[in-house]
Amino acid sequence: MAEIVMPRLTDSMEEGVILSWLKQDGDEVAVGDELVEIETDKASMVYESDLAGTLEILVGEGETRPIGEPIANVGGGAPADGGSSGRTSPGVPDEPPSTDTSETGETTPAKLESEEDTSDDKRVKASPLARRIAADKGVDLSGISGSGPGGRIIKVDVESASPGEKASEKAVEGGKGSPEIVELSRTQQLIARRMAESKATIPHFYLRTVIDMDRAVEVRAAFKQNAAEGESVPSLNDFVVKAAAIALRKHPRANAAFRDERFELYPNINVGIAVAAEGALIVPVVTAADEKTLAEIGAESRRLAERVRSGEITPPELSGGTFTVSNLGMFGVTGFDAVINPGQAGILSIGEVARRPVVTDEGIGSAHLMEATLACDHRILYGADGAEFLATFKANLEEPGLLA
């Protein structure tokens, strides 16, 4: 039998979660068949089989495995001794564990009953996934009748049960009322973990500037006036992406990362654009942004945003980012501090473009102003480095002729 291992679906992926198997244990699979849905650090992806034969599932739904670890075998059939790939679990005799596919939507490698059902207070017969769901929902397994083989409690049994009252819930009922518990999706869990990792391991500091966007607004108006009917016009965020890309070319330490006590300076300038999806924030990447025109950046940004919202985004479109731009100006936000994506040196937070009063040599006037905040990884970008990058970025936008 040949192994299928946890694939590397994005450049920053270190482990993946098996969301669902699209084939059942024992099914015949062909090269190119959609095999398994995997959640990475960026999004959920469907992995297609690069092998043909009979499928033997090794890792169940909901399980996490590092890159390169086997998740399934594919071959012409199990060997005569019933083994799969010569691997045995520590402390378990040569007899390999069987694979349990008794639950709808759940495929988990079964443990020996002595391991799973009779250890300490876990004498209730239940699958590992059912136990995890029960713990999350606060469900007492001893009060559930299992519908699996031999009365085993499976996922569907727990999901249909009413959650028990947890002590923490009781404690807040008096003052706050009984809370509604909302479970995080796998993507939300990954985002939470990555952002917590970033704030815990990356020493952030922030630099702010206010940019006069009058000329950028004028140039965009000229684009719009000269555009053919139905032709797309670059948005002000496309101006921001282009201005950032040119600044990254001039300040290579901003287009880099701190890894293993050294700097990694990236030769390509690939700008990630944060896109709000349903219940998550996804960052597709505009590759070679410094080499693209404003019109090309605009077209690519719209295409990527549409693919994120439709759920059609692919691993290559989410990979290779060297810097990120996050814009909340469309929501009326004047400014904010974003969290750096691990593996990058900084992230730009962009606020709304709004006409505000300004003091000039002629007196009080008005201008289209925009606040920009640069979050820096202090291990690679020092104060002067970040300030110089931000000054170049500002100059690029205040004179858009520099964006050519």
Q: How many CA atoms lie within 13 A of 315 on its CB side?
A: 17
Helices (H) then strands (E): counts for the chain = 10, 20
Using DSSP's 3-state secondary structure scheme, residue 20 falls into: strand
Burial class of residue 46, CB neighbours in 10 A (0-12, 13-18, 19+): middle
User: Is residue 22 a contact partner of residue 48, using CB atoms and an 8 Å limit?
Assistant: no
- Write out the two tokens for 268: 């390509």
Cβ-based neighbours of 239, under 8 Å, separated by 6 or more:
216, 219, 220, 294, 397, 400, 403
Amino acid at 257: A
If we measure between CA atoms, which residue out of 106, 104, 169 comes closest to residue 138?
169
Give the separation between CA 120 and CA 118, rounded to whole angstroms.
6
Give the separation between CA 159 and CA 130, rounded to whole angstroms.
8
Could you write out the three-class secondary structure of 44-71?
EEEEECCCCEEEEECCCCCCEEECCCEE
- Write out the two tokens for 49: 């089989």
If we measure between CA atoms, which residue out of 126, 5, 16, 7 comes closest to residue 65?
16
- Asked about 368 being catalytic, the answer comes back as no
Say which of 204, 251, 368, 378 is annotated catalytic.
Answer: 378
Amino acid at 91: G
What are the start-end ranges of the H helices in 210-272?
A: 214-226, 236-250
Beta-strand ranges (E) seen in 116-251 are 204-212
User: Is residue 302 a contact partner of residue 241, using CB atoms and an 8 Å limit?
Assistant: no
CA angle 11/282/44 to nearest 5° reads 65
Cβ-based neighbours of 285, under 8 Å, separated by 6 or more:
270, 271, 272, 273, 304, 317, 318, 319, 320, 321
| Active-site residue list | 378
